[in-house]
Structure formats: structure tokens, C-alpha cells
């Protein structure tokens, strides 16, 4: 049953769940996964998880947004900041097949600024291919 606002007797929005996880695939590759909504409230946690992944020694970080249902401009700003602060030899890729989230990248014109892949496997292969070309 939906909760109701006591003053207006209208249905209220239930709080949306948000989960973030990080796993290391090898000594240089981390995958950060987000489920739920990326917004003003959750964006700082995403920022620090991504920053921590690089500071802990990952040279390749893949952000998996395949379970992300919404992203606002605050979260997009976090991604831009991470992209801008990459050091030599660091790579940042995004997995996103959700039309509603992809639309945010497209509307903002940022779809060309990031390496965006439809699957985690493609992102990992793309990142590893970039590294191989750099050697």
C-alpha cells in the first residue's frame, strides 16, 4: 500500500533504493556498480567510490549503470569531474544500456565525452584493447 500525505491525502513517493558496490577484477581493474537512482543524495557516494577506486591503485575503472533507473545532472557532474581528473594511464568506462539514463548523456551532449558500452564485457574488452594499444 502506498503511503499518503496527511495534509493533501495524495499518494507520496516511496523512497527509492540505492545501492553501490565495488569489486576488483584484477590488480588494475575495478568495477563500480550502481542500482537505483543517481541523484543529489546519492551522487556524493558515487564520487567517493570512484575516487577511492583510483586512489587504491586501479588504473581502469568501469562504472556499471545497467541497474541504474535514473540519473540527474548532479550525478553527471560527478562523472565529468572523474573524467577530467584522470591521470596518465588511467581509463574510465561506463556501462549503460538503460534508455532513460543514456538519454541524459545525449541531451547534455556528454555521450561523446565518455567511453560508453552496452555490456560490462564490451567495456572490459574496450578498456583492455585501449591499454594494449598504448603499450
Give the pLDDT band (50/70/90) at residue 9: very low
Please give the residue range of the domain that contains residue 100: 18-134
Q: 111-123: per-residue pLDDT in tens?
A: 999 999 999 999 9
Mean pLDDT of the chain: 86
Residue 24, pLDDT above cutoff 90: yes
95 inside domain: yes
CATH code, domain carrying 89: 3.30.750.24
Residue 130 confidence (pLDDT) = 52
3-state secondary structure labels for all residues of the chain: CCCECCCCCCECCCCCCEEEEEEEEECCEEEEEEEEEECCCCHHHHHHHHHHHHHCCCCEEEEEEEEEEEECHHHHHHHHHHHHCCCCCCEEEEECCCHHHHHHHHHHCCCCCCEEECCHHHHHHHHHHHHHHHC
Domains identified in the chain, total number: 1
Is residue 70, in this structure, part of any structural domain at all? yes
Residue 7, in any domain of the structure: no
Instruction: Confirm whether 6 is domain-assigned.
Output: no
Can you tell me the distance from the alpha carbon of 87 to that of 89, in angstroms, rounded to the nearest whole number?
A: 6
Question: Does a structural domain hold residue 3?
Answer: no
Span 70-86, pLDDT tens digits: 999 999 999 999 999 99
In a domain, 63, yes or no: yes
Q: Higher pLDDT residue, 1 or 72? A: 72
**Domain-located, residue 5:** no
pLDDT per residue over 91-118, tens digit each? 999 999 999 999 999 999 999 999 999 9
**Residue 2, in any domain of the structure:** no
Amino acid at each position: 500500500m502506498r503511503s499518503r500525505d496527511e495534509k493533501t491525502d495524495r499518494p507520496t513517493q516511496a523512497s527509492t533504493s540505492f545501492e553501490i558496490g565495488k569489486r576488483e577484477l584484477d590488480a588494475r581493474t575495478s568495477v563500480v556498480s550502481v542500482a537505483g537512482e543517481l541523484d543529489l543524495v546519492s551522487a556524493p557516494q558515487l564520487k567517493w567510490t570512484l575516487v577511492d577506486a583510483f586512489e587504491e591503485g586501479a588504473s581502469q575503472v568501469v562504472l556499471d549503470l545497467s541497474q541504474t533507473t535514473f540519473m540527474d545532472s548532479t550525478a553527471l557532474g560527478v562523472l565529468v569531474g572523474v573524467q577530467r581528473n584522470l591521470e596518465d594511464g588511467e581509463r574510465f568506462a561506463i556501462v549503460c544500456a538503460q534508455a532513460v539514463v543514456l538519454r541524459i548523456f545525449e541531451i547534455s551532449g556528454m555521450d561523446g565525452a565518455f567511453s560508453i558500452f552496452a555490456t560490462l564485457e564490451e567495456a572490459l574488452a574496450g578498456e583492455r584493447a585501449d591499454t594494449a594499444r598504448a603499450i
